[in-house]
Structure 1
Amino acid sequence: MTKQTVNEAELEAVEQVSAEAAAAEESEAAGRKLDAQKAGARVGLTSDEIIINGGRPLKGRIEVRGAKNLATKAMVAALLGKTPSVLRNVPNISDVRVVAGLLALHGVLITRGEQAGEWRLDPSNVEVAHQADIDAHAGSSRIPILFCGPLLHRLGEAFIPDLGGCRIGDRPIDFHLDALRNFGAVIEKLPSGISLTAPNGLKGANIELPYPSVGATEQVLLTAVLAEGQTELRNAAIEPEIVDLICILQKMGAIISMEPNRVIFIEGVPELRGYDHRAIFDRNEAASWAAAALATKGDVFVGGVEQEEMMTFLNVFRKVGGDFDVHDDGIRFWHPGGALKPVTIETDVHPGFMTDWQQPLVVALTQAEGQSTIHETVYENRFGFTDALVKMGADIVVYKEGLHDEARRVKRREFEQAAVITGPTPLHGADIEVPDLRGGFSHLIAALTAEGQSKVTNLGIISRGYENFIEKLRLLGADFVYES
């Protein structure tokens, strides 16, 4: 079976399972069985390994669809509406299928539209899901925590399983739980997860986040829009995906205003309707392919990308020695020849340099002449992927307690790490295992850059955030063996 056939079949399976879940109301036991089967069928997109013959420039055009970090949250937002929602430009990734499975477990009917990447979500029959079925999704995504507010509004209760996700940091959910308590939620921690109720309904609150967390900001937005009264959120995240989510909620009838200094005001409304929205493009995937073009001395046109949301990355890309052209339908990234230059980068919240951008770029920096320094201030365990690069010949030293550097501005958080990359170092093929989503794609870039053959295993993690990445490698002329 080809890769394309697998994707089509799995998308059709989402529609079929959603319809079956709706019909299964006649038999509670049958419904639970169908949903559990669906949950298990959604996780895998790819086989476990790929063998890459490196040293070949990537050249050609690929398309990037909607952002993982918006599409999944927009699907959750559909729970808030009284009428169906239509989400366009949805990427075919496993995180989307996990959320679709969770929505179906709660009675949301999901169907695919006429256009590729178009999903219709009907929340007319939202219901309580069984904990055993929700548990089937535990560990596959961190999105379930965002179901809390919408489910409390619709059903008066919610259950959240133990959360999974990439092993890049502690990612505590205390910010989420504290915010929900401020709205009036009663939280009980159970061995299998967290149970929430709202015996007196949810009321607007004044909330200040200790850190401008994207997830906690989304939690407040999804809860405040139907909470009684006004909510003031201070120290909010303002990423483009957050702004796009606010646009979706406004289309649904919400009243939300963004003020200076990371302040967001939300006036609760009695009810919301469905939305029709095209998801913003995936900045992280776009930057990953750009880094791949630079590392392999290639030339890649990334369709569907817009300049404004990429400005910080584009500045660094140019400083390193890459070049780009902005077009109406995307951005062309290429290596113009000559030596790449070292840089000093500090990851930060928007509008700073994204933590998800540094991992793919590190591979290109192994080919720069001189010493580059990356200060990671967002996640405390994000340099684990460099072990494989060192195995392949890179000169990278990680400082777990951070590194004093006169070129940077200020120390951002109590925890941080730093990586010093000295180049250029030729990379050679090796057997490597994907550790997390962005680190995994970085390993693909390293294998494509290296001379000789590499075997990359545990590919399923990459499918969480990169749509059809095997087919895109083919389109760009990569030399590899992959059995789907």
Structure 2
Amino acid sequence: MTDDVLLVHGGNPLEGEIQIRGAKNLVPKAMVAALLGQGPSRLRNVPDIRDVKVVRGLLQLHGVTVRTGDEDGELILDPSHVESANVADIDAHAGSSRIPILFCGPLLHRLGHAFIPGLGGCDIGGRPVDFHFEVLRQFGATIEKHPQGTYLVATQRLRGTKIELPYPSVGATEQVLLTAVLAEGVTELRNAAIEPEIVDLICVLQKMGAIISLGTDRTILVTGVDELDGYTHRALPDRLEAASWACAALATKGDIYVRGAEQIPMMTFLNTFRKVGGAYEIDDEGIRFWHPGGELKAIALETDVHPGFQTDWQQPLVVALTQATGLSIVHETVYESRLGFTGALNQMGAHIQLYSECLGGTPCRFGARNFMHSAVVSGPSKLVGGELVIPDLRGGFSYLIAALAAEGTSTVHGIDLINRGYENFMDKLRDLGAHIELPAAAEVAEVQLTA
């Protein structure tokens, strides 16, 4: 398919302004939360991305009315008539997203049963769903696994429970929150994820009538209530997309104003960006990121759960580090396979060596398991265009950055995957002066030139 391939002519700085909207890691979850309410919900600052379309489709299959509001990027979700969906229709969404697993708790509360198809998502390491199902068992659900998916049944009201996560997983924390708010009694969740998107989801649920307290020690207490109402909420901006554009400015020696970006959720990234040698300026409307000239600096970096350096920031920053002087060390502690994208960068001229050892201050979960989860990046390297096949969402955008920073033309395959989390990314690239084109358009131009 030509519309899934992009030709990128690199070597020019990205300059200009782009707008980001609500966070991919919050908006679909807030849409699922609307299932829990007795009345309609109004969600603002919604990006036009594929994960939103998947969740919208699943909600509509279950009888939720979803329509656009008067404001651009506004959705109104009315769950007044929630109903069971056809298994075949649900299964049509299998493999397109991992969000369906979060429908379990709300559907058990509203219908007493749920069906979850096989799950998709980016191949960046283990994200087992068995723990989600074990959590739901602790709430009182009965679970049966079948070849086409998983059936869940609640014969009576779910009950609050005590849960301690072995790792502060974002998905598992979301699962507990969306289930505990209507469960009978108190749920105590220890070692919870506390990312800004989690806190924003808690804000959504609190607006609906939930009683949730967030402790300083990663403990969340949820006192179940009998009923929730709808909400009106403006989603927090996507700090992960903002950082991707910041890295694009750095790698291409450009200057990008990211309208909508906010300082507080990005504090850890901003510190690292400055250490590398990038410059930024914050105002009330967004953040300007630029390469100030001179050499970029090599750094030592470890990813971690919030408030550490986010794993989703790592891949685009690695591209920028190929242009830094010296040896940068990157220790990925969240997803064991997230550094696999660097092989293609080496083919473009980067010098990146992967190691199974923990090249960081603290040993992580992967150190003794032979995963190539640490990297040494030697730079600066002259990148040249090449053939790139997008492996995952953040790795895909990172390939675009590399192609834009490289000399010559790159052919990037699988760009549709980027639509999962980057709204109108091709239009934004063009607005920043990027020279990109679909192969069909290139062929037409060539015919015209020949004529």
**TM-score normalised over the length of structure 1:** 0.89
Counterparts in 2 of 1:50-449, with a 5 A limit? 50-399=6-355, 401-403=356-358, 405=359, 408-415=360-367, 417-449=373-405
Looking at structure 1, the residues matched to 366 and 125 of structure 2 have their Cα atoms a distance apart, in angstroms, of 14
User: What RMSD in Å do the two structures reach over aligned CA positions?
Assistant: 1.2
Q: Kindly state the Cα deviation for residue 412 of structure 1 after the two structures are TM-superposed.
A: 2.5
Distance 2:36 2:262 in 1: 29
Contact preservation (8 Å) 2:95, 2:118: yes
SS at the partner of 1:165? coil
Secondary structure at 1:371's aligned position in 2?
strand
State the 1:233 CA deviation: 0.6
Preserved contact between residue 98 and residue 119 of structure 2 (Cα < 8 Å): yes
Between the aligned partners of 1:387 and 1:260, the Cα distance in structure 2 is 40
Question: Offset of 1:197 from its aligned partner?
Answer: 0.4
Shift of 1:315: 0.5
> d(CA) in 2 for partners of 1:306 and 1:322?
17
* 281-290 or 415-424, larger mean C-alpha shift: 415-424
Unaligned runs of 5+ in 1: 1-43
Q: Distance in 2 between matches of 1:325 and 1:200?
A: 54
Alpha-carbon deviation of 1:52? 1.0
Whole-Å separation in 1 of the counterparts to 2:186 and 2:36: 17
Question: How far did residue 114 of structure 1 move?
Answer: 1.2
Q: Aligned to 1:470, what secondary structure does the other structure show?
A: helix
Structure 2 residue 434 is the aligned partner of structure 1 residue 472: no
SS at match of 1:385: helix
Q: Tell me the alpha carbon deviations over residues 172-221 of structure 1, each in whole angstroms, 9 at most, x when there is no partner.
A: 01221121111001111111111100112200101111110000000000
Instruction: Give how far 1:402 is off.
Output: 2.5
Per-residue CA deviation, residues 79-114 of structure 1 (Å, 9 max, x unaligned), is 000000000000000010000011011011110011
CA distance in 2, matches of 1:354, 1:175: 22
Query: Which residue identity is paired with 2:39?
Result: T
**Secondary structure, counterpart of 1:383 in structure 2:** helix
Contact 2:255 2:289 in 1 (8 A): yes
Residues 56-98 of structure 1: per-residue CA shift (max 9 Å, x gap): 0000000000000000000000000000000000000001000
Deviation at 1:432, TM superposition (A): 0.8
1:227-257 Cα offsets, whole Å, 9 max, x none, are 0011111000000000000000000000000
Q: Which runs of 5+ in 2 are unaligned?
A: 442-451
Aligned to 1:21: none
Q: Residue type matched to 1:402 in 2?
A: E
Q: Percent identity?
A: 66
| Secondary structure of 1:69 counterpart | coil
Please tell me whether the aligned partners of residues 375 and 402 of structure 1 are also in contact (alpha carbons under 8 angstroms).
Answer: no
Distance 2:357 2:411 in 1: 32
Alignment partners' CA distance in 2, 1:252 and 1:72? 16
Q: Distance in 2 between matches of 1:157 and 1:239?
A: 30
Contact residue 175 and residue 209 of structure 1 kept, 8 A? no
CA distance in 1: counterparts of 2:195 and 2:139, whole angstroms? 24
What SS does the aligned partner of 1:100 have?
helix
| Distance in 2, Cα, partners of 1:175 & 1:463 | 28
C-alpha distance in 1 between matches for 2:366 and 2:376: 20
CA offsets, 1:359-411, max 9 Å, x none?
00011000000011110110111112111111100001111x224x4xx3211
Paired AA for residue 333 in structure 1: F
Shift of 1:330: 0.3
TM-aligned CA deviation for residue 452 of structure 1: 0.5
Deviation at 1:426, TM superposition (A): 0.3
Aligned equivalents of 1:296 and 1:409: distance in 2?
A: 31
Q: CA deviation at 1:50?
A: 1.1
Paired residues, number: 436
Q: What is the TM-score with the length of structure 2 in the denominator?
A: 0.95
Task: Write the distance in 1 (CA, Å) between the matches of 2:310 and 2:62.
Answer: 34
Question: 1 CA distance for matches of 2:126 and 2:145?
Answer: 18
Q: Which amino acid aligns with 2:357?
A: G
Counterpart in 2 of 1:27?
A: none
User: Does the aligned pair in 2 maintain the 1:86–1:121 contact within 8 Å?
Assistant: yes
Contact 2:386–2:411 (CA under 8 A) maintained in structure 1 = yes
Rounded to whole Å, the distance in 2 between the matches of 1:373 and 1:157 is: 48
The aligned counterpart of 1:15 is none
The offset of 1:131, in angstroms, is 1.0
Question: What SS does the aligned partner of 1:442 have?
Answer: helix
User: SS where residue 352 of structure 1 aligns?
Assistant: coil
Structure 1 letter corresponding to 2:291: H
Amino acid at match of 2:365: R
Counterpart-to-counterpart distance in 2, 1:200 and 1:328: 49
Letter in 1 for 2:127: R
What residue identity is the alignment partner of 2:428? K
- Opposite residue 150 of structure 2, the aligned amino acid is I
Separation (CA, whole Å) in 2 of partners of 1:370 and 1:360: 18
Whole-angstrom distance in 1 between the partners of 2:364 and 2:195? 18
